[in-house]
Amino acid sequence: MSSFSDSNLAKKLNELNGTQQSIQTLSLWLIHHRKHSKTIVQVWLRELKKVTPPRRLIYIYLANDVIQNSKKKGPEFTKDFGTVMGEAFATGYREAGEKQRGSLDRILNIWEDRGVYTKDFMKNLRQKIAGGETAAHIKDVLKDDILTAWKESNPKKESTPRKEEKPRKEAPQKELTPKEVIPRKRRRKDEPEQLALKVELDSMKHDELGTYDTESLIKRLSALENSASCDAAIREKIAKLPPEVSDISQLAKLHDKDSARRLSNTVDNACILLTDYNKRLAEELDERKSVAKMLRAFINTQTEQLGHAEKRLQMEIYRRVI
């Protein structure tokens, strides 16, 4: 694993992309060098301010992975990142699109749900973000005011008045029939997707809901907490693989048969490790999709049962009143 330096970290941040593998690999490297957490956080914030809004979101994804996966080894990153999160999120929101802001909000919601930071900290963080948004809004308003004042100080020549148009005679309205009075329902753009989801859930009520109960669903959800993507030990092994495994230029350093044989064994072991891990990740992905479908069907069923219960309760109240 390469040594730590400011320039090396900046280079790795610039090479970072939005894939899970890229984020997790750099996250493990940072956790390995957690004794430099203060420097890491300062360089991270400095580089975050330089990049475009979409890449700011990737940097915050990285910080989220580091914070949540370094808890067991120490509180350094949670504490040090906490000192700059207000500024980082305010920068992340600036010029970000609606989709990117939604992703940032989801990270905040996850931190609140999992208790990553205290309630007071999250409240202050949201206030700082809102304050940054207000400042940006005021800046835009001032810009508009300056533009308006300039237009008023440079009026255009008055154009010749337009001739008054004669009012058009309105055609007599015919009496509408009951069918015409009711407006035609517009078809929403996402109606096909909603319809497809409803069909899927209706089919699952009969096909899948009978095959499990609440307890088994909870067990499957709990099992996902120990899935492949949460296996820090394997991820650390992958991060510690020597550069010779993936860097073809290292082949030029081979000078004898023994070193070539050792490299071949290392590559074979790395391939076995990665193949097994990729297989586990694929199985986890299938399991998550299956559990997600079950959850949607379960929630839909519970919602319907709640609606039926409310109707029965209203009927009972109505009978007693009468």
pLDDT in tens, 225-258: 778 788 888 888 888 887 777 777 666 777 777 7
In this predicted structure, what is the pLDDT of residue 167?
A: 54
CA-CA distance, 187 to 50, in Å (whole number)?
A: 44
CA-CA distance, 270 to 59, in Å (whole number)?
A: 28
Residues contacting residue 308 through CB under 8 Å, at least 6 positions apart:
none
Token representation of residue 112: 């609140």
Place of tokens 């996250």: 27
Place of tokens 């007071």: 120
Q: Is the pLDDT of residue 66 over 60?
A: yes
Please count the residues of the chain: 322
| Helix or strand (DSSP H, E) at 224 | none
Q: What is the pTM of this model?
A: 0.45
CA-CA distance, 159 to 141, in Å (whole number)?
A: 29
Token representation of residue 50: 């330089």
Token representation of residue 246: 């993936």
Query: In Å, what is the CA distance from 207 to each residue of 124, 157, 210, 290?
Result: 47, 74, 7, 13
Query: In Å, what is the CA distance from 212 to each residue of 203, 216, 298?
Result: 15, 6, 10
Q: What is the mean pLDDT of residues 66-89?
A: 91
Q: Which residue has the higher pLDDT, 270 or 122?
A: 122
The single-letter code of the amino acid at 149 is A
Q: What is the mean pLDDT of residues 288-311?
A: 82
Q: Is the pLDDT of residue 39 over 90?
A: yes
Which of 2, 67, 11 is CA-nearest to residue 41? 67
Task: Find the DSSP H helices in 16-118.
Answer: 20-32, 37-50, 53-69, 76-82, 85-93, 98-114
Cβ 15 vs Cβ 58: under 8 Å? no
Which of 20, 72, 13, 88 is CA-nearest to residue 80? 88
The dihedral region occupied by 115, where left means phi > 0, alpha psi between -120 and 50, and beta the remainder, is left
CA-CA distance, 180 to 244, in Å (whole number)?
A: 76
In this predicted structure, what is the pLDDT of residue 138?
A: 37
Q: Is the pLDDT of residue 299 over 80?
A: yes
